[in-house]
A = this chain, B = another copy of it.
């Protein structure tokens, strides 16, 4: 299954996403990507920090990316929204 190591951050609690990331590492992935848009970006950083500092000291942040995505509004209008990707890997 491609992209199965990608965790999309939504409106659930930070701990839901922490658990999702930890589960993917425990499933054997050595790289997990956390993706978020808009206000969920802060929660993505929270999740990455909690995984690293509290649950998986053997995991580190390999790469951070920010960008802008265009989303289609309800009325068909377009809006720009910031996005972020946090790539976490098991330390060599």
- Which A residues fall within an 8 A CB radius of B? 38-42, 45-46, 48-49, 53, 61, 64-68, 80, 82, 84, 86
Sample 6 A-B pairs with CB under 8 A, ordered by A number: A39-B42, A42-B82, A46-B82, A49-B80, A61-B66, A64-B64
Q: How far is the CA of A49 from the CA of B38 in the complex (A)?
A: 12
* Contact (Cβ within 8 A) B49 A67: yes
> Chain B residues near A65 (CB, 8 Å)?
64
* Contact (Cβ within 8 A) B39 A84: no
> Chain B residues near A84 (CB, 8 Å)?
45
Option from B42, B49, B80 in Cβ contact (under 8 Å) with A42: B42
> Chain B residues near A67 (CB, 8 Å)?
49
